[in-house]
Amino acid sequence: MAGGGEDSRALFRAGVRAALQGWPALQIAVENGFGGIHSQEKAEWLGGAVEEYFLRNADLELDEVEDFLGELMTNEFDTVVEDGSLPQVTAMNDGTATDGVCPQPEPSNPDSQTIKEEDIVEDGWTIVRRKK
C-alpha cells in the first residue's frame, strides 16, 4: 500500500497549514505586511518549511519546534512573538506528525517541588537546586 505514507503526509501538511492559518500572530504579520510585499507568499512558504523541518528531524521536542517557528517569524516577518502563542500553535501539531514526534511532558509530582525553609535566603530569594 504505497499510498498510506502519502496520505499521512498530506494529512500532516493539512494540519500544519490549518494551525498556521489559525495563528493570530502570523495572520497579523501577514495582514500588516510585516514581511514586506511578499508577506502572503512567505506565510504559504512557512507551512512547507515547517513540514520539511519535521520530516528532516526525528524526535523533535516541543521547545525545538517553538524555537524554529520563533526564528522564522523573526527572520521572515521581523516579528518577535511574545504573546504566548508559540507553545499553543506548536501543540496543535502534537501527535499529528509521525508516531508522536512531540510527546507532551509528564506532569511533575507536586511534592517534589516543595520549597524548604533552608532554601530561602535572608533577602527573600529562593535557592533552586538540581534534582538528584
**Does residue 30 have a pLDDT over 70?**
yes
**Nearest Cα to Cα of residue 71 among 90, 58, 55:** 90
Question: What is the reported pLDDT for 33?
Answer: 92
Could you tell me which residue, 18 or 116, shows the higher pLDDT? Answer: 18
Q: CA 94 to CA 62: how far, in whole Å?
A: 8
* Mean per-residue pLDDT, 74-85: 91
Domain ranges of the chain: 3-92
**Does residue 117 have a pLDDT over 50?**
yes
